Structure 1
Amino acid sequence: MLYYNYIPQHTNLKEMKTLGWIGLGNMGTPMATNLLKAEYPVNFYRRDIAKVSPLSALGAVAIDNLQDFIHQTDIVFFTLPDDKVVEQMFENIVQTDVTDKIFVNSSTISPTLAEKLGELIHAKGAHYIDAPVSGSVKPAIDGTLLFLVGGDKVIYEAIIPYLEVMGKSHYYLGNSGSGSKAKLAINYYMAVVVQGLAETVLFAEENGVNREMMTAIINDSACGSGMSKIKTPSILNEEYPAAFPLKFMLKDIRLAQDAGWNTSLVKSTEEAYAKASEDGLAENDLMAVIKAIK
């Protein structure tokens, strides 16, 4: 069910909760920045507190002790890279009192882990929401991400004001793990689309149709999409600055396989991205898969 620009009537935005952030990478930093610009108080956890963060200039408070960070924060958002890092972080967090805290995990992780964390946090008297996002760095900066949410619906409704600062829309999908399942599905679709775009351009090129002409045809046809238009400059310039690093797409394809999706298409898709990673393209944008297919 889609909830768009909806704020529950019982939500009092004057009652400011202290927000927290763990994982200030390419996605977490702009997402937290938008909360600060909306004048929400934000703490962030950083073990190396001496490392300068642009969030500090906007009024965010850096805390280098995890227990203190949790005690001083009401709602914690996470944007961490993978299952291993996320699970370790939560294992550390539950060593302290988390009663009534809300944990909103926007990391892309396996549905199995999301369900496990939901049970773990609930047993500790707190609340867990899985809210991975669809969108890369520019939507994170622009505040136009899509949130895919699983967990307690009442808690979901309580955090809607924060989601709407960071995103253009949000979908409530059901129990813990539901958001993660939807995220793996949409990322798998993106992987297939980008690989298909790459192969189409290369096929045309090998048959005498240059990249500029072929991308123009694609973008002007029924097959054109926001994705094909966004990736066209990279295809033409043959430069792949990371909006969504290829290594994370490979991780997500493998998570989809681990979740039971084992068609011939997902197998060939995994092989293409794995080859790109082996070829040294892991830190490039996922569109760099075109170089591995070439």
Structure 2
Amino acid sequence: MKIGFIGLGHLGKEIAKRLISQGVDLVVYNRTKEKAKELGVEIADSPADLINKVDAVFIIVFDSEASKKVIFGEKGLIKGEIKNKTIIDMTTNHYKYVENTYKELKNIGAFYIDAPVLGSVIPAQKGELVSLVAGDKEKYEEFLPIFKKFCKSVYYVGEPGKATKLKLINNIVLGGFMSVLAEAIAIGENVGFDKDLLINILSEGAGKSYILDVKKQKLLTNDFSPHFSVDLIYKDLHYAQDLLKDTNAFSFILQNVKESYGKARFLDCGSLDFSAVYKIFKKDT
């Protein structure tokens, strides 16, 4: 089976590298061809060109607007030979976009899998991402061997949109943990404690978490080179707010967490790792 891949951002590139290392026959497309050359595989000229060369396409782009352009745009996937082919969208999308895209592709004889992933660059390099998959179960089963090449766990959760909703719920927690940890560390420094001591205490106490483990070094060194950006978590939390509105759900924290990243964006930290939210709480940054 020949697989297409679209989206070579920080996470996408690592997933693509992992698939190649696992023997997957990959053809890629990226808006900036230079980012694709180092992979050493065939590069398509457009999404439409890509779909003509492969049996299925994995997509992981910034948001639903970017996904829409890749699939339905002027040189999008639907402009090529898409009938009977499968689009696996790992983008953290808006749930309504996912539901509509599934229906639109089904109407033209193609298949769409809603498949966002949990985890970032380091787990991707190790093949330890977690995938949430929704859509036609037979398609999930068909592509499960591919998912297992870059994921430690794969969860089939039902109808299209459900995987995206779960991802958004997960990212409420992700964004909240990071913001609270950053605030606590900054408060501790502001009252006179050493950052290293604070992080060690939090790691042994109430702050003990996967998030602190993976972001500890960035916080210690102020190295906010992006694995998962402020812009991305802000976008995800905005989509999560829509989910709460549409379901009449309630949250005390979501708006405040989202706007902590909004302030980080205002301070020109949008392209930095989302742990850079620390900067909004630290007095001397």
CA deviations over 1:167-225 (Å, ceiling 9, x no partner): 11111111111111111111111100001101111222233332111111111125401
The alpha carbon displacement at 1:107 in A equals 0.7
The alpha carbon displacement at 1:69 in A equals 1.7
The alpha carbon displacement at 1:50 in A equals 6.8
Q: 2:66 — aligned with what?
A: 85
Q: Which sits farther off after the overlay, 207-216 or 140-149?
A: 207-216
Q: Which sits farther off after the overlay, 244-253 or 214-223?
A: 214-223
Aligned pairs (5 A) from 1:125-274? 125-221=109-205, 223-260=207-244, 263-274=251-262
SS at match of 2:223: coil
Q: Is 1:32 aligned to 2:16, yes or no?
A: yes
Q: 2:88 — aligned with what?
A: 104
The alpha carbon displacement at 1:258 in A equals 1.6
Q: Which sits farther off after the overlay, 19-28 or 256-265?
A: 256-265
Q: Tell me the matched-pair count.
A: 275
The alpha carbon displacement at 1:293 in A equals 2.3
Paired residue type of 1:182? L
Q: 1:121 — aligned with what?
A: 105
Q: 2:263 — aligned with what?
A: 275
CA deviations over 1:58-104 (Å, ceiling 9, x no partner): xx211114333212110100011111111122113223331110110
State the alpha-carbon separation in 2 of the partners of residues 281 and 194 from structure 1.
15
Q: Is the 8 A contact 2:48 2:78 kept in 1?
A: no
Q: Is 1:45 aligned to 2:29, yes or no?
A: yes
The alpha carbon displacement at 1:46 in A equals 4.0
Given candidates 73, 90, 94, the residue that maps to 2:78 is 94
Give ranges in structure 1 of 5+ residues lacking alignment: 1-16
SS at match of 1:20: strand
State the alpha-carbon separation in 2 of the partners of residues 275 and 176 from structure 1.
33
Q: Is the 8 A contact 2:224 2:272 kept in 1?
A: yes
Q: Is the 8 A contact 2:183 2:278 kept in 1?
A: yes
State the alpha-carbon separation in 2 of the partners of residues 100 and 140 from structure 1.
29
State the alpha-carbon separation in 1 of the partners of residues 33 and 222 from structure 2.
38
**Cα pair distance change 1:105/1:279, threshold 3 Å:** same
Give ranges in structure 2 of 5+ residues lacking alignment: none
**Cα pair distance change 1:238/1:140, threshold 3 Å:** same
State the alpha-carbon separation in 1 of the partners of residues 129 and 31 from structure 2.
28
Q: Which sits farther off after the overlay, 144-153 or 261-270?
A: 261-270
State the alpha-carbon separation in 1 of the partners of residues 151 and 184 from structure 2.
32
Cα RMSD (Å) of the superposition? 1.7
Q: Is the 8 A contact 1:246 1:283 kept in 2?
A: yes
Paired residue type of 1:274? G
Q: Is 1:285 aligned to 2:273, yes or no?
A: yes
State the alpha-carbon separation in 2 of the partners of residues 181 and 167 from structure 1.
19
Q: Is the 8 A contact 2:181 2:207 kept in 1?
A: no
Q: 1:8 — aligned with what?
A: none
State the alpha-carbon separation in 1 of the partners of residues 134 and 105 from structure 2.
14
State the alpha-carbon separation in 1 of the partners of residues 32 and 91 from structure 2.
21
State the alpha-carbon separation in 2 of the partners of residues 51 and 247 from structure 1.
20
Q: 1:6 — aligned with what?
A: none
Q: Which sits farther off after the overlay, 93-102 or 245-254?
A: 93-102
Q: Is the 8 A contact 2:8 2:36 kept in 1?
A: no
Paired residue type of 2:153? S
Give me the TM-score of the superposition, normalised by structure 1.
0.89
CA deviations over 1:35-68 (Å, ceiling 9, x no partner): 2112221111245657652222xxx211114333
State the alpha-carbon separation in 1 of the partners of residues 28 and 185 from structure 2.
43
Q: Is the 8 A contact 1:272 1:293 kept in 2?
A: no
